[in-house]
Structure 1
Amino acid sequence: LGRELIPPMKQGEFTMRMEMRAGTRLEDTEKATEKFESILLAHPEVASVSVEVGKERSSGVTQGGENIARFAVTLKDPERTTAIQDRILEELRQQVLAAARDELLTFSLPSLFSFKTALEIQLYGENQQELRRVGERALEVIKKVPGVADAELSVKPGYPELLIELDRELLAARGISPGQIAQRLRTEVQGNVATRFSRAGEKLDIRVRTDKDLLASVEDLRKLSVTDGPVPIPLSSVARIEVREGPSEIRRVDQKQVVIISANVENRDLGAVSEDIEAALRSVDKPEDFFFALGGQNRELNTAYKSLQFALVLALFLVYVVMASQFESLVQPALVMFSVPLAFVGVIYALYFTNTNLSVMVFLGGIVLAGIVVNNAIVLVDYINQLRDRGMSRRDAIVQAGTVRLRPILMTTLTTVLGLIPMFLATGEGSEIRRPMAITVMAGLSSSTLLTLFVIPMVYELFGERGRK
Structure 2
Amino acid sequence: YLYMPTTMPHASIGEAQDVLAKLDLALASVPEVEQVVGKLGRAETPLDPAPISMVETVVNYKPEYKVDADGHRLRFAYDAEEGVFLRDERGELIPDPEGMPFRQWREHIRSPDDIWDELVRAARLPGTTSAPRLQPIAARIVMLQSGMRAPMGVKVKGPDLETLERVCLDIERFLKEVPSVAPEAVIADRIVGKPYLEVEIDREAIARYGLRITQVQDVIEVAIGGKPQTTTVEGRERYPVRVRYARELRDSVEAIRRILVPTPSGQQIPLEELARIRYVRGPQVIKSEDTFLTGYVLFDRKKGHAEVDVVEEANAYLQEKIRSGELRIPAGVSFTFAGSYENQIRSEKKLRVVLPLALFIIFLILYLQFRSVWTTLFVFSGILVAWAGGFLMIWFYGQPWFLDATVFGENLRDLFGVHPINLSVAIWVGFIALFGIASDDGVVVATYLDQSFAASRPGTPGAIRAATLVAGKRRIRPCLMTVATTVLALVPVLTSTGRGADIMVPMAIPSFGGMCVVLITLFVVPVLYCGLEELRLAARGLFVGSPPPEPEA
TM-score by length of 1: 0.88
1:422 aligns with one of 471, 487, 492: 492
- Residues 457, 258 of structure 1: CA spacing in aligned structure 2 closer, same or farther, 3 A cutoff? farther
**Which ranges of structure 2 fall in alignment gaps of 5 or more residues?**
66-102, 144-148, 322-326, 398-419, 537-553
Distance, in Å, in 1 between the alignment partners of 2:374 and 2:262 is 98
Matched residue SS, 2:111: helix
Matched residue SS, 1:20: coil
**Per-residue deviation at 1:384?**
1.4
Distance, in Å, in 1 between the alignment partners of 2:430 and 2:156 is 36
Matched residue SS, 1:266: coil
What does residue 10 of structure 1 align with? none
What does residue 139 of structure 1 align with? 172
Distance, in Å, in 1 between the alignment partners of 2:49 and 2:347 is 28
Distance, in Å, in 2 between the alignment partners of 1:23 and 1:292 is 26
**Per-residue deviation at 1:421?**
0.9
1:109 aligns with one of 112, 134, 145: 134
2:248 equivalent to 1:213:
yes
Contact 1:152 1:262 in 2 (8 A): yes
Task: Specify the code of the residue in structure 2 equivalent to 1:205.
Answer: P
Matched residue SS, 2:260: coil
1:353 aligns with one of 389, 393, 396: 396
Q: Percent identity of the aligned residues? A: 27
Distance, in Å, in 2 between the alignment partners of 1:124 and 1:455 is 59
Matched residue SS, 2:268: coil
Distance, in Å, in 1 between the alignment partners of 2:28 and 2:122 is 12
Residues 378-399 of structure 1, C-alpha deviations (whole Å, 9 max, x = no match): 1111111112211135544433
Contact 1:193 1:208 in 2 (8 A): yes
2:9 aligns with one of 22, 31, 35: 22
Distance, in Å, in 1 between the alignment partners of 2:385 and 2:333 is 47
- Residues 444, 252 of structure 1: CA spacing in aligned structure 2 closer, same or farther, 3 A cutoff? same
- Residues 341, 289 of structure 1: CA spacing in aligned structure 2 closer, same or farther, 3 A cutoff? farther
Contact 1:224 1:235 in 2 (8 A): yes
Matched residue SS, 1:244: strand
What does residue 314 of structure 2 align with? 277
Distance, in Å, in 2 between the alignment partners of 1:107 and 1:34 is 20
**Per-residue deviation at 1:278?**
1.6
What does residue 77 of structure 2 align with? none
What does residue 392 of structure 1 align with? 458
Give the stretch that moved more between structures: 275-284 or 362-371. Answer: 275-284
Q: How many residues align?
A: 451
Task: Specify the code of the residue in structure 2 equivalent to 1:213.
Answer: E
User: Which structure has the larger Rg over C-alpha atoms?
Assistant: 2
**Per-residue deviation at 1:403?**
2.0
2:38 aligns with one of 39, 51, 55: 51
Contact 1:157 1:245 in 2 (8 A): yes
Task: Specify the code of the residue in structure 2 equivalent to 1:189.
Answer: I
What does residue 443 of structure 2 align with? 378
Task: Specify the code of the residue in structure 2 equivalent to 1:102.
Answer: G
Distance, in Å, in 1 between the alignment partners of 2:190 and 2:430 is 41
What does residue 283 of structure 2 align with? 247
What does residue 74 of structure 1 align with? 60
- Residues 340, 103 of structure 1: CA spacing in aligned structure 2 closer, same or farther, 3 A cutoff? same
Contact 1:362 1:440 in 2 (8 A): yes
2:214 equivalent to 1:162:
no
**Which ranges of structure 1 fall in alignment gaps of 5 or more residues?**
1-13
Q: CA RMSD in A?
A: 2.6
Residues 263-294 of structure 1, C-alpha deviations (whole Å, 9 max, x = no match): 22231222332232122212133235544322
Contact 1:155 1:249 in 2 (8 A): no
What does residue 455 of structure 1 align with? 524
What does residue 337 of structure 1 align with? 380
What does residue 126 of structure 1 align with? 159
- Residues 52, 127 of structure 1: CA spacing in aligned structure 2 closer, same or farther, 3 A cutoff? closer
Give the stretch that moved more between structures: 194-203 or 50-59. Answer: 50-59
What does residue 437 of structure 1 align with? 507
Contact 1:15 1:107 in 2 (8 A): no
Contact 2:30 2:118 in 1 (8 A): no
2:302 aligns with one of 266, 287, 308: 266
Task: Specify the code of the residue in structure 2 equivalent to 1:71.
Answer: T
- Residues 128, 192 of structure 1: CA spacing in aligned structure 2 closer, same or farther, 3 A cutoff? closer
**Per-residue deviation at 1:463?**
5.0
What does residue 123 of structure 2 align with? 96
Residues 208-231 of structure 1, C-alpha deviations (whole Å, 9 max, x = no match): 111111111122222222225542
**Per-residue deviation at 1:420?**
0.9
Contact 1:120 1:297 in 2 (8 A): no
Higher helix share: 1
Distance, in Å, in 2 between the alignment partners of 1:370 and 1:146 is 36
Residues 103-139 of structure 1, C-alpha deviations (whole Å, 9 max, x = no match): 2332533254333422122223334322221211111
**Per-residue deviation at 1:365?**
0.7
TM-score by length of 2: 0.76
Task: Specify the code of the residue in structure 2 equivalent to 1:246.
Answer: G
Contact 1:118 1:297 in 2 (8 A): yes
What does residue 404 of structure 1 align with? 474
Contact 1:304 1:360 in 2 (8 A): yes
Distance, in Å, in 2 between the alignment partners of 1:318 and 1:303 is 23
Contact 2:433 2:511 in 1 (8 A): yes
Residues 402-437 of structure 1, C-alpha deviations (whole Å, 9 max, x = no match): 222122112210121012111112233432322112
**Per-residue deviation at 1:245?**
1.4
2:113 equivalent to 1:86:
yes
**Per-residue deviation at 1:28?**
3.1
Distance, in Å, in 1 between the alignment partners of 2:527 and 2:312 is 42
Distance, in Å, in 2 between the alignment partners of 1:17 and 1:264 is 13
Distance, in Å, in 2 between the alignment partners of 1:357 and 1:172 is 72
Distance, in Å, in 1 between the alignment partners of 2:204 and 2:258 is 20
Distance, in Å, in 2 between the alignment partners of 1:204 and 1:124 is 41
1:364 aligns with one of 429, 435, 455: 429
